[in-house]
């Protein structure tokens, strides 16, 4: 033994090691909590579910594999795909998908829901952002606890990040960690990294299931210009424009944003390029994602109330109206829900042979009146 190791030093070292083991165990238990999936309770309208690996077999038994739920009507019609959880730190995106999953009934056509598109990104969060791991909704079926994940795939499932992410197939250069961002990975590739394979499987699903409309739900910081927005491509712009106009008649303002031609890897851009669906992406404004926010906790996810954003609103630096009432999850989910209703309504009117009819999924005013709690 080293002569410097006196018995006294050893005891302190042993105490240090025990402390380390206890802290490590506590950290392991805390982090592993996010690997436990929440119970989602599909409505009786669910006709079947499969896993995403049905569309790309190598995803089986990986953390990229995720559930795909089918709601199929008795009458024939078109097919809509709804994606939540592309970014699991954008709560209204996946909560809208959960709410639809638990309440939907389809009578004509099909609605396919992937509530946790980037399944791996739900298994971790960004603690250095001060983000909570979970948030709770006191629903009619009891208290529901949902994970609040990360924008990107868990590095435990996909690593190392390159210094520079080269998008396939364009060669576009982005920061290295964007290689784990599902919404920069489309159209994906069969032998790519985990995130690229998830993107590849979703593109395959859209083609194989002949999806007519594919909708990707997101949120962004209130100071980001593309919020309260519907993003559409050349193919889907008429559909999105008609929907946005009709929403405006209901006094709901959505800005229409064109999908950029030169920004590659985005869902709408590559669904346009590599499938024949009508691609749509929707954004609401969420203060917990903003750089101007103050106290960061579960309450901010739910209420969207933040004093710093009130100051920012007075200074005129936000892209959306903001006051002390905040931007509650109820409101953000209601906006996504109403835009979904309107897009499907416009599509069904314009393509009557492909009409999609459904019930159970609430409208904007119903959600604002009763809260999302009524539907969980």
Partner 1 sequence: MLLTWIYQLLLLFFSVLIVYDIFKEKSKLMQLTAAVALIPFLLRLLMVK
Q: What is the binding site for partner 1 (CB under 8 A)?
A: 2, 4-5, 9-10, 12-13, 16-17, 19-20, 23-24, 27-28, 31-32, 124, 156, 159-160
In this complex, which beta carbon is closest to partner 1, that of residue 9 or of residue 276? 9
The residues with which 232 forms a beta bridge, in sequence order, are 258, 280
Could you tell me how many residues make up the chain? 376
Q: Cβ closer to partner 1: 124 or 268? A: 124
Closest distance of CB 180 from partner 1, Å: 15
Query: Virtual CA dihedral for 143, 148, 153, 155, nearest 10 degrees?
Result: -100
Least distance in Å: CB of 15 to partner 1?
Answer: 9
Q: Which is nearer to partner 1, 63 or 200 (CB)?
A: 63
- Cβ nearer to partner 1, comparing 20 with 175: 20
183 vs 193 by CB, closer to partner 1? 193
Given the complex with partner 1, which of 27 and 166 has the nearer CB atom? Answer: 27
Surface-to-core class of residue 161, CB atoms within 10 Å of its CB (0-12 exposed, 13-18 middle, 19+ buried): middle
Q: Which is nearer to partner 1, 18 or 248 (CB)?
A: 18
CB of 67 to partner 1, least distance (A): 24
CA 97 to chain centre: 9
Stated as kind and residue range, the H or E segment containing 349 is helix 329-350
Strands 357-359 and 255-258: unpaired
Of 89, 102, 87, the residue nearest 139 (C-alpha): 102
Closest approach, Cβ 133 to partner 1, in A, equals: 12
Contact by Cβ (8 Å): 184, 174: yes
Q: Which residues pair with 166 in a beta bridge?
A: 173
In the complex, least distance from residue 364 CB atom to partner 1, rounded to whole angstroms = 39
What the block records as the tokens of 185 is: 């990975």
Q: Are strands 357-359 and 105-114 parallel, antiparallel or unpaired?
A: antiparallel
200 phi and psi, to 5 degrees? -60, -45
What is the nearest approach in angstroms of partner 1 to the Cβ of residue 6? 9
Q: Which two tokens stand for residue 345?
A: 């309504």
Least distance CB 81 / partner 1 (angstroms): 33
- CA dist 125 and 153 (Å) reads 10
């Amino acid at each position: 033994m080293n002569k410097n190791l006196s018995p006294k030093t050893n005891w302190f070292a042993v105490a240090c090691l025990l402390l380390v083991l206890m802290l490590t165990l506590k950290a392991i238990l805390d982090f592993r909590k996010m690997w436990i999936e929440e119970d989602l309770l599909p409505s009786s309208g669910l006709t079947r579910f499969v896993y995403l690996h049905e569309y790309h077999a190598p995803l089986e038994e990986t953390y990229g594999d995720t559930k795909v739920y089918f709601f199929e009507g008795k009458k024939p019609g078109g097919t809509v795909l709804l994606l939540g959880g592309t970014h699991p730190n954008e709560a209204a995106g996946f909560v809208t998908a959960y709410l639809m999953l638990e309440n939907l009934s389809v009578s004509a056509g099909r609605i396919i829901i992937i509530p946790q598109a980037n399944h791996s990104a739900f298994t971790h969060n960004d603690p250095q952002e001060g983000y909570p791991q979970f948030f709770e909704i006191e629903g009619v079926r009891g208290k529901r606890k949902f994970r609040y994940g990360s924008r990107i795939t868990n590095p435990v499932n996909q690593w190392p990040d390159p210094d520079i992410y080269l998008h396939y197939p364009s060669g576009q250069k982005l920061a290295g960690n964007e290689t784990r961002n599902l919404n920069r990975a489309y159209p994906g590739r069969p032998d790519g990294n985990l995130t690229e394979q998830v993107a590849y499987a979703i593109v395959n699903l859209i083609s194989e299931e002949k999806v007519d409309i594919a909708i990707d739900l997101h949120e962004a910081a209130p100071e980001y210009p593309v919020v309260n927005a519907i993003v559409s491509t050349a193919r889907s712009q008429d559909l999105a424009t008609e929907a946005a106009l009709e929403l405006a008649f209901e006094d709901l303002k959505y800005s229409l944003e064109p999908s950029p031609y030169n920004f590659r890897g985005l869902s709408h851009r590559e669904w346009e390029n590599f499938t024949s669906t009508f691609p749509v992406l929707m954004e609401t404004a969420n203060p917990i994602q903003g750089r101007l926010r103050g106290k960061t906790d579960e309450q901010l996810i739910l209420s969207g109330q933040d004093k710093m954003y009130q100051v920012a609103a007075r200074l005129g630096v936000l892209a959306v109206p903001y006051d002390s009432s905040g931007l509650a999850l109820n409101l953000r989910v209601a906006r996504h829900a109403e835009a979904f209703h309107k897009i499907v309504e416009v599509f069904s009117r314009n393509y009557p042979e492909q009409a999609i009819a459904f019930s159970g999924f609430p409208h904007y005013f119903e959600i604002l009146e009763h809260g999302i709690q009524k539907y969980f």
